[in-house]
Amino acid sequence: MAPKIVSAQAKTDIPPAPAIDPAERNAFINELVEQHGFDRAEVEQGLAQAKFNQAIYEAIQRPWEAKPWHQYYPIFLTERRLEAGLAFWQQHQETLQRAEQTYGVPAHIIVAIIGVETFYGSYKGNYSVLDALYTLGFHYPPRAKFFRSELREYFLMTREEQLPLTELNGSYAGAMGYGQFISSSYRYYAVDFDGDGVRDLLTNPVDAIGSVANYFAKHGWQTGQPVTLELAPHENHAGLVTSGLKLEQTLQQLLDAGLQLPTDHGLDPAAKAKVFAFEQADGSDYWLGLQNFYAITRYNHSPLYAMVVHQFSQQLKQGR
């Protein structure tokens, strides 16, 4: 659950990667040995096979989500992706219906996620997951703690799922399979949705469908509720935009502060909501994000990502 495409921005602004800290490496090994029962030689051998990757180091610093909305959405909202999504939906119709019934997450959201993440398994990533997590966990200080945690989860995941530590490929951030699950998400949210005894998100679209639905259910998806509402142009809306993703105000509080909605909006005044701005070439569009919008941002912490998933899901729904 991380951006995978990198811009063609010049590379001169990327500082050199710092050298690995031996103390951090030793602490990582000790944790796996002492807290998780790994053999020390096994962990040391695994780390010895991990390689620093300069392309990964550069990629993490230029996500597409740093682009303005009007440059971001055309990457994903294409006729080709829509056609592929409708074909995927048709091919896996029974599985998607079962996922919707089991987890309460609509098929068009599941199909949109897998389409945005990997174009239905066509682009799962060609980076070594071990190299990605090693590079970012030990050579990228801004997020080193997170990626070392994911490297620990990767050691645990490959042991639990009986997968080869050094052979799995994924995104530059170490995300894997159809739905681009990071190691911790694989461990905690992957499901065996076809009942064959294996949680295979790497090659099995059925397990991927069930796992995406389970992820959303576990992150607060509200069945039958809207995702977001486009706001009509009004001078008040720019002033209601705040930083972050968390829904910290109720709809009533936003209305009291000047939010303009149709009288027949049908939303619960007590529901949490947040106003988001999406930058166009000639100004900004404003949308009201609701709980299901926030749930999409748990998959990728970007309002642009959540909006493109929502809009793509609506295209898919209408295309059916």
Catalytic residue positions, numbered? 117
Q: Which amino acid is at 266?
A: G
The torsion angle over the Cα atoms of residues 217, 223, 227 and 231, rounded to 10 degrees, is -150
Taking the C-alpha atoms of residue 131 and residue 127, their distance in angstroms, rounded to an integer, is 7
Edge-to-edge strand list for the sheet holding 283-289: 228-230, 283-289, 272-280, 249-250
Under a CB-based contact definition with an 8 Å cutoff, are residues 291 and 249 in contact? Answer: no
Cβ neighbours, 10 Å, residue 143: 14
CA distances to 102, 211, 212, 297 from 292, in Å: 17, 17, 14, 9
SS3 content of the chain, % helix, strand, coil (to 5): 50, 10, 40
Given a contact cutoff of 8 angstroms between Cβ atoms, the answer to whether 154 and 133 are in contact is yes
CA–CA dist 41, 171 (Å, integer): 28
Residues 6+ apart with CB under 8 A from 155: 32, 36, 38, 43, 46, 165
Backbone angles phi, psi at 155, to 5 degrees: -60, -45
Integer Cα distance of 170 and 128 in angstroms? 6
Closest by CA to 202, choosing from 168, 173, 160, is: 168
DSSP 41-61: HHHHHHHHH----HHHHHHTT
In this structure, are residues 53 and 284 in contact, taking their beta carbons and an 8 Å threshold?
no
